[in-house]
Structures are given as structure tokens and as C-alpha cells.
Amino acid sequence: MLLEERDYFTDRVVLKDPYDYFAELFSKDPVYQPKLRDVMFVTGFEEANAILRNTQDFSSVIAVTGAAVPLPFKPVGDDISAQLEQHRHEVSGSDILVTYDGPRHTADRALLTSLFVPSRLKANQAYMDELAEKTIRDVVARGKCELIQDVAVPYVTLVIADLLGVPADDRDSFKEVIAAGPPPGNIDAEEKPHSNSILEHLARHFVGYVQDRRAHPRADVLTQLANAQYPDGTIPELSAIVGVAVFLFAAGQDTSAKLIGNCLRFLTEDKALQQQLRDDRSQVAGFIEEVLRLQGSTKVTFRVARRKTKVAGREITAGQKIVIALSAANRDPRRWEEPNEFKLGRKKVQEHLAFGRGAHTCIGAPLARAEVKTLLDRLLQYTSDISLSVEKHGPPENRKLDYEASFIIRGLENLHLELKPGVGGNS
């Protein structure tokens, strides 16, 4: 069976290896529509870049719900901008920042940019160091762990909670709620509305924080967020502040936790690489970039054409839904030499599209890089060997690994590690 005959949105063979599927589409055309769906797949680097940067012709409104769900209206004519705005609220997830377009997106995003500047991350670094140190010492002492749910998810949740200034007493409840929720883009629930229950729980807390800090300002991050102004000096509605804060939790959890899993997959399957990084931990940052390129935790993102336009000479009709395969663009042989090979030190590797590009570039990318680097650094420091559990995942020649059933997220559901203590202490 040709991979093309499989349905990207529901097929478990494609879920396990989306890269072969995308490579097959790319070999036909970097902008290609498989027969199964009225959806255009963009697998080329330049083509993906062009669409990501073009907010005039392409809308992000379907970024959460995905390209497989029908639009709530029948597109008419060569410019559906007015129709799209009229029906925007009917699109699932359209109250979330990633789906905003134009000035509203620019303004709400601006509320967040100050949270991710280097000096703020530096302030957050001390907490990350302390948390990573404690977390890794604990699991190394136990000699084993399930990395994703037991280590990565709690770690990234607590880090973003610290960055936003969530009181320590509330952090555990956030951790529990997030750990219990499914990731976005569940392949078994394609037609169902996006589950917002986690976001609602977080929103209730943030409404309280923002109201409190607006009434009683303190010298903390929540006060700064609560009193953030739009670039034109106007004060955002309470709901806008709560929306962007909650969005940060939702967007950063699965992606960062899965990135940690994808990194450890590489390290455990290539022991020479593992030792190389342990011997010289200054290479960890470059290692993460190459993992982001080859196995970034966001496989795809979605756009819909608001106007009739062209991409790389191919006509796109207004209303055309598009899958931008970030993970395929990151393996485009026209951009990357030996694209499927893991190579440390690729030139300009940070130009990969794992965090997207253009107006919707992942705002948390600097945090993701810092928190993953911090955790890997400690893990390598305190171990002499990290291996996959043969009992749980089988022998190297026949690994059993379960990928999260999502058409958006690329990451393992669980990863059981065995850890041999090292000399530690050396930094």
C-alpha cells in the first residue's frame, strides 16, 4: 500500500513514522494534495517558509482544530476574508492565541514578549537549575524512571509556573490537571471539538491572580502581566490577559516534554553520541537543535488561504486548507545535506522550522531551549550511562515505542530509562 493512500489524520502507520509519509508526498511535489482529503500538504522548506511568513493570504484560524475539520461555511469567491471573520467564532479553538490573525494577534502577542527576554529567562534559570538538580538526583538515586510523565511533564510545568509567578501552593494542582489531559490533535477525536477543560481550570486560577494583582500590585511577574498594556497604551480586558497566560501553559507543556523524550531517544540509541555530550556538555545546545530539526515535537501546523494566491507557482484557491509539515521542511534535501542523518554542528541549523517562522513563531522557544538544555545537562552530569529499559521497550533491534496519538505532536507517550550513576559533581 502506498503511504499516500493512508490518511495522515487517522492512520497509525503514519503516526509511527510520519517522515516516510511526508517524503513520499515531497517526491511528488513539495506542495501536494493527496487524493484522500481536500487538504494541501506543504513539505518543502522554502514553500513552508513562504506560507508561514505570508499573513496576508493565509489565516491561522484552523491552527488548533486542524485541516481535516470542515470550515463552518462554504467559501465563496477569490477572497473569503469577510466570511472568515464572520464565522471565526464558530471554529473550535478560535479563542486561543495561535489562531488569531492580524492586529489582534500582534497586540495580544505583545503582552507576552517581555516574559521571554534574556534577562527574564536568566532570572528563571536559577529555579530551573535547582529543580533540574533535585529531579535528576532523585531519579538517578532510584536507578530508573519513566521520563515523560514522571520527569519531563512535571518539570516543564513547574518551570513555566515559576516564569509566570504562579504561587508555589497552586503549582501542584496545575501539574495534576495538565498531566491528566490529552495532547492537542488527537487522531481518535478528529471530528470532536478541542477539549478545553484543562484551559478552563487554569483560567479560573488566572482570573483570580489577575484581579488580585490589579487591585493589590506586588513586585512579582503576575503583577507585571496583570498590568501589561497594549502597544498603543490601552489596557487589555481581563479575559485577554488570562487567555494569553493560560495559552502559555497549554502550548508549552506537551511540546517541551515531548522534546525531552525525543532527545533521550537519540541519546539512548547512540551511546557514542551520549558519551561525547557527557564529556563535553557545551555541545548539548547544538544537539538539541539537531533533534529539533529531525524530531521536533510539532510535526505540522495549519493555515487556510483567505485569498486566491500562488505558492511556488502552484495555484491555491481561497478557502484551501493547508498542512504545513514543519518536520518535512526540516528534512527537505534542497535545504539540508543528507537530511535524514543526525549531524552535530550543521551550518545554520537553528534555521529549522521546528518552532515555526513569521508572526506565529513559537514565543516560548527560548524557554524551551533553556529548560531542555538544563535538564539534559544534569542528566548527563549525574550518570555514566542512560539506556532504554529492555523490559519495557524490547531489545535495540526490535524496540517497542508508543507515539502520542496526535496528528500535531511528535513524541513518545512514555520512555522508560535505566540510569547508572556517574561521578556527578563535575561541571
Point out which residues bind other proteins (CB under 8 A): 53, 55-56, 103, 106-107, 109-110, 113, 115-119, 230-233, 350-351, 355-363, 365-366
Are residues 345 and 288 in contact, defined by beta-carbon separation less than 8 angstroms?
no
Q: Which is nearer to other proteins, 285 or 359 (CB)?
A: 359
Single out the residue of 214, 230, 296, 307 nearest to residue 263, CA to CA: 296
In the block, cell 496528528 appears at 407
Q: Which is nearer to other proteins, 69 or 163 (CB)?
A: 163
Please provide the DSSP assignment of 117-181 as one string: SHHHHHHHHHHHHHHHHHHHHHHHHHTEEEIIIIIIHHHHHHHHHHHHT--HHHHHHHHHHHHHS
> Which residues, 6+ apart, have CB-to-CB distance to 162 below 8 Å?
124, 127, 128, 131
Q: For the beta carbon of residue 420, count every other beta carbon within 10 angstroms.
A: 12
CB of 347 to other proteins, least distance (A): 12
CB of 103 to other proteins, least distance (A): 6
Are residues 302 and 361 in contact, defined by beta-carbon separation less than 8 angstroms?
no
Distance CA 273, CA 284 (A): 10
Please provide the DSSP assignment of 204-262 as one string: HHHHHHHHHHHHS--SSHHHHHHT---TTSPPPPHHHHHHHHHHHHHHHHHHHHHHHHH
Q: Which is nearer to other proteins, 232 or 391 (CB)?
A: 232
Single out the residue of 415, 418, 416, 424 nearest to residue 383, CA to CA: 424
Q: Which is nearer to other proteins, 303 or 360 (CB)?
A: 360
Distance CA 198, CA 173 (A): 11
CB of 36 to other proteins, least distance (A): 33
CB of 329 to other proteins, least distance (A): 14
Q: Which is nearer to other proteins, 74 or 348 (CB)?
A: 348
Cell digits for 84?
A: 472568515
CB of 363 to other proteins, least distance (A): 6
CB of 337 to other proteins, least distance (A): 19
Q: Please, is 25 exposed, middle or buried when counting C-beta atoms within 10 Å of its C-beta (0-12, 13-18, 19+)?
A: buried
Q: Which is nearer to other proteins, 106 or 275 (CB)?
A: 106
CB of 229 to other proteins, least distance (A): 11
- CB under 8 A, 24+ apart: contacts of 265-270: 265/295, 265/401, 265/412, 265/415, 266/291, 266/294, 266/295, 266/342, 267/376, 267/386, 268/386, 268/387, 268/388, 268/417, 269/388, 269/396, 270/342
Q: Which is nearer to other proteins, 119 or 427 (CB)?
A: 119
CB of 81 to other proteins, least distance (A): 15
Cell digits for 119?
A: 534577562
CB of 121 to other proteins, least distance (A): 8
Distance CA 297, CA 418 (A): 23
CB of 52 to other proteins, least distance (A): 11
Q: Which is nearer to other proteins, 36 or 110 (CB)?
A: 110
> Which residues, 6+ apart, have CB-to-CB distance to 204 below 8 Å?
none
Q: Which is nearer to other proteins, 230 or 403 (CB)?
A: 230
CB of 46 to other proteins, least distance (A): 11
Cell digits for 80?
A: 473569503
Distance CA 65, CA 254 (A): 16
